[in-house]
Structure 1
């Protein structure tokens, strides 16, 4: 099944209230957001809409995702949580994408973008995760990074160092994130970190929809 075939048929996960201020029909905005998050760069999304007779710029398509302000929601209780980070390139700068994933459902629980990686920022990420989800009794699946072990120990959270098995879920998702962001480098070449983080949160929402 192609990624376009995986587009969800409803838009209840997209807040389209902002469309009232747009000159574009709601159905087109919904399609543009889903296409961009699912598979296409802004340029390719623009070309796809043009084949439907709709002329919109790459910037307009990018802004639709930003205005929708999509973020993973809902409180979860997970027995296992896979946590890892990977480098995301913003122009000439390197940032670290932190992600927590439920390996049972293959869904994102929380994502954040930081300018570096250390114990302090890992604590920030884990505390935010703790506020959103019931994970105090979960076992965290991590690699042997010292900052991950230190932050989890300081919060009194259980962890298990695992290089394979359930922890592979977060690595598979990271591969997909890398593939997607590399396909529209023009978007991440001239954006602020907060804008990139907003897109990554929106991608997490779309990804979770595809797992359900």
Structure 2
């Protein structure tokens, strides 16, 4: 998908309730948040507000994204939900990213970052996914992961093994996440896991806005 398409999104969806005495106009703050989550580095996003005569540090953009606490909203109830787990790097350590996506729209429904992977974590991921979305009637598309299959069984969810097909949606999401975390590693440099997880929720919000 062209990079410009990632700029599509409704700035009105970005809430700035955390702002008290911020000198930067709110529209510029929303624009910088949207641009950064769409793919621009923090250096490039601060250069955007400089065009409007406002000078801000790169760390300021990071703080805006973090404090905005963006996350994907509950949407329609899809017939199928693709779930998967993959490894990403954080401070030279490996973390496991769990994610669920609507294969028809490519919309991210939920993400969770964990230091390891096992059946208990997979069950917790599904419990939180079910709490956020009413997906109990959906067919969950899983690959060969035994922990994801076991979690579906324990939650009484209908699931189907699928290595390609509709599951390609979540693979595309994972590729984009890995591209972003590799290209803009400064987002994760010396970051704690909860900070990275907050960034990933913000990324999910921006990803869904551009669909």
The bucket for the TM-score relative to the shorter chain is over 0.9
C-alpha contact (below 8 Å) 2:81/2:138 kept by paired residues: yes
Partners in 1 of 2:110 and 2:172 — Cα distance?
Answer: 16
In the aligned structure 2, how far is the partner of 1:53 from the partner of 1:178? 34
Structure 2 residue aligned with 1:119: 119
For 2:181, the equivalent position in structure 1 comes to 181
Aligned residues: CA RMSD: 1.6
**Residue 98 (1) aligns with residue 98 (2):** yes
For structure 2, the residue ranges without an aligned partner over 5 or more in a row are: none
Check conservation: 2:46, 2:57, Cα contact below 8 A. Answer: yes
Q: In the TM superposition, what whole-angstrom CA distance separates every residue of 1:138-169 from its partner, at most 9, and x where no partner exists?
A: 11111111111111111111111111110000
Q: For 2:12, what is the secondary structure of its paired residue?
A: coil
Q: Which is further off, 195-204 or 1-10?
A: 1-10
Moved more, 7-16 or 99-108: 7-16
| Preserved CA contact (<8 Å) 2:11 2:34 | no
Corresponding residue SS for 1:94: strand
Task: Structure 1: give runs of 5+ residues left out of the alignment.
Answer: none
1:1-212 superposed matches below 5 A: 2-4=2-4, 6-8=6-8, 10-211=10-211
What is the deviation of 1:49? 3.0
Give me the TM-score of the superposition, normalised by structure 1: 0.93
- The count of corresponding residues between Structure 1 and Structure 2 is 211
After the TM superposition, which parts of structure 1 deviate over 6 Å for at least 4 consecutive aligned residues?
A: none
Give distance in 2, aligned partners of 1:20 and 1:6: 29
Describe the shift of the 1:139–1:26 C-alpha distance in structure 2 as closer, same or farther (beyond 3 A).
Answer: same
- Give the deviation of 1:51 after TM superposition: 3.9
1:166-208 Cα offsets, whole Å, 9 max, x none, are 0000000111111111111122021111111111101101111
Distance 1:2 1:162, change over 3 A: closer
CA distance in 1, matches of 2:3, 2:9: 13
